[in-house]
Amino acid sequence: MPSTSQPKLISGNANMPLAKAIARRMSMHRGVDVGLCDARIERFNDQEIFVEVYENVRGEDMFIIQPTSNPANDNLMELLIMSDALRRSSAKRITAVIPYFGYARQDRRSKARTPISAKLVANMIVEAGIERVLTMDLHAAQIQGFFDIPVDNLYASPIFALDIMTQFKGTMDDVMIVSPDVGGVARARELAKRIEAPLSIVDKRREKAGEVAEMTVIGDVSDKICIIVDDMCDTAGTMCKAAQLLIDNGAREVHAYTTHGVMSGPAVERITNSVLKSMVITDTIQPTEAVKATPNIRIIPTAPVFAQAILNIWNGTSVSSLFETPTLEPVYEGQFAG
């Protein structure tokens, strides 16, 4: 049994709307007000980060909600400094809720004299006093092994499956899941299995990071409703090229489902002008006003699943149960009802 009356949440500045939404959902589930801890997180004139927690956290089960999205370095430092403040204030346990885990793309040495930054970040998180990490759709699953503490990696595919079965009701026989590269096949296959759809792959060859030299489609996409599935969309170059390639290969229409909407540089403009009929992202990264105003981008909330996962961790019950549709559907309370 937990020793405290309820879990305590604290948020950095990276995605305050998501943190507040998680708190609201937890309040609804618990039947008592679960607010965000009153704290001050600000910067000195030289941009050093300062944190002061105004509430007593001694012996409390603390959850820091802080994606390490752009600006990645600032948000990461906020997370580490908040953890240090809580540890020195005698918090019982500190869990980092990192909806989007930055530096995850640097998960191995791709060539000589390059860093494995994801491992470095993992070391920093552990050294800061964090005892558990809760995240969503890590870019590479092996990053869980970089930590010597428990890591719960939630998946967006069960949420996407519910949404797809609602949005494409009546045309599910024509739906085909597409992986935008060979590395994402496992993710795409898992979603295809959930909705009992066929799978296709776009094989891409990169000349250098951010530039795609050549793309080919593996599989017959003729007259199919193609759904590209990826864990993140950064500049949207690969996504838009893949969508055009699928149309050129006879696809009826192309949609995209992406967990993390990084949306750097020309991403919004590219998606707006692309052949993508719709693109679905989650709110693990706080969407900009430009993203929210784009007519073919739709945002799915992650607060329901994160709120339930936090409650499960606090109660000592299964987090992996949230990967199953019968468990997830009530969490979203008919949001995807047809």
- Is 66 known to sit in a ligand binding site? no
- Is 6 known to sit in a ligand binding site? no
- Is 329 known to sit in a ligand binding site? no
- Is 131 known to sit in a ligand binding site? no
- Is 255 known to sit in a ligand binding site? no
For residue 29 the two structure tokens come to 């589930």
Residues 41 and 14: their CA atoms lie apart, in Å, by: 11
Residue 64 bridge partners (DSSP): 10, 96
- Is 236 known to sit in a ligand binding site? yes
- Is 187 known to sit in a ligand binding site? no
- Is 48 known to sit in a ligand binding site? yes
Q: Which are the catalytic amino acids?
A: 204
Give yes or no for a contact between 25 and 304, defined as CB atoms under 8 angstroms apart: yes
Give yes or no for a contact between 223 and 250, defined as CB atoms under 8 angstroms apart: yes
- Is 223 known to sit in a ligand binding site? no
Residues 159 and 211: their CA atoms lie apart, in Å, by: 30
Residue with the two structure tokens 């967006």: 156
β-sheet with 132-136: strand ranges across: 8-11, 61-65, 93-98, 132-136, 151-154
3-state secondary structure 251-319: CCEEEEEEEEECCCCCHHHHHHHCCEEEEEEEECCCCCHHHHHCCCEEEECCHHHHHHHHHHHHHCCCC
Closest C-alpha to 275, from 296, 301, 305:
296
- Is 237 known to sit in a ligand binding site? yes
- Is 234 known to sit in a ligand binding site? yes
- Is 106 known to sit in a ligand binding site? yes
- Is 206 known to sit in a ligand binding site? yes
The alpha carbon of 42 is separated from its chain's Cα centroid by a whole number of angstroms, namely 25
CB neighbours (10 Å) of residue 183? 13
Q: Look at residue 215 and give its three-state secondary structure.
A: strand
State the binding site. Answer: 46-48, 105-106, 139, 181, 206, 230, 234-238
State the binding site for Mg(2+). Answer: 139, 181
State the binding site for ATP. Answer: 46-48, 105-106
